[in-house]
């Protein structure tokens, strides 16, 4: 199980990490809203590896049958490996490659409020909220925890759905498909 979890988890993590590294330098051109759509779309595409990993485990290791619990465990393992890759990549981006990312995002958020017709009091409240978020985000443990909340729920959903779709009893020897006995 470990080999499949690592293989498919690293594939999913590499897809998420590669897209993050490709888009972050161009975020001001892409736009923060489109960047979020690209990011979550990439996570969804990458987490198709959960389905493929569970299917591979069922077919190659478990002899064609797998229970829901084991299938979910495989999916959860793939999710965790991919999520760790995602978080590690974000830490590299945030602390080394784009340490001004939150400053740019905060400026974008305040400007977005202004363009939407917010009052000066509302803009000041948004600015204060972004300042508090930036301060909170400087704590590495909170940074890691908040970053983990981006891919983890998606992976949990994929794991549950994939386990439900792929779990089945091991085929019995000597029975023809559809034959009742």
Residues 74-131 pLDDT 10s: 999 999 999 999 999 999 999 999 999 999 999 999 999 999 998 999 999 999 999 9
Q: Is residue 175 part of a domain?
A: no
Between the alpha carbon of residue 64 and those of residues 59, 113, 164, 168, 170, the distances in Å are 4, 55, 15, 8, 5
Q: What is the DSSP letter of 168?
A: B
What local confidence, expressed as pLDDT, does residue 1 receive?
A: 86
Full 3-state SS string of 35-78: HHHHHHHHHHHHCHHHHHHHHHHHHHHCCCCECHHHHHHHHHHH
Q: Which two tokens stand for residue 4?
A: 């499949």
Question: What total number of domains does the chain contain?
Answer: 1
Decide: 140 and 64 in contact? Cβ < 8 Å: no
Domain membership of residue 144 as a residue range: 2-166
Q: Is residue 97 part of a domain?
A: yes
Q: Is residue 31 part of a domain?
A: yes
What local confidence, expressed as pLDDT, does residue 171 receive?
A: 59
**Closest-CA residue to 57 (of 138, 175, 146, 168):** 168
Q: How far apart are CA 145 and CA 123, in angstroms?
A: 28
């Amino acid at each position: 199980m470990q080999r499949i979890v690592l293989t498919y988890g690293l594939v999913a993590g590499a897809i998420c990490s590669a897209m993050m590294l490709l888009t972050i330098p161009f975020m001001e051109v892409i736009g923060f809203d489109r960047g979020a759509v690209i990011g979550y779309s990439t996570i969804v595409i990458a987490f198709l590896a959960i389905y493929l990993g569970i299917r591979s485990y069922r077919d190659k290791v478990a002899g064609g049958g797998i229970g829901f619990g084991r299938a979910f465990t495989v999916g959860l393992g793939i999710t965790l490996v991919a999520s760790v890759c995602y978080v590690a990549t974000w830490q590299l981006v945030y602390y080394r490659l784009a340490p001004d990312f939150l400053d740019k995002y905060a400026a974008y958020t305040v400007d977005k409020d202004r363009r939407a017709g917010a009052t000066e009091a509302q803009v000041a409240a948004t600015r204060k909220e972004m300042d508090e978020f930036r301060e909170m985000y400087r704590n590495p443990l909170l940074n890691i925890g908040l970053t983990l909340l981006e891919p983890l729920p998606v992976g949990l959903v994929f794991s549950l759905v994939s386990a439900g779709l792929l779990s089945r009893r091991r085929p019995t020897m000597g029975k023809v498909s559809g034959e009742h006995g």
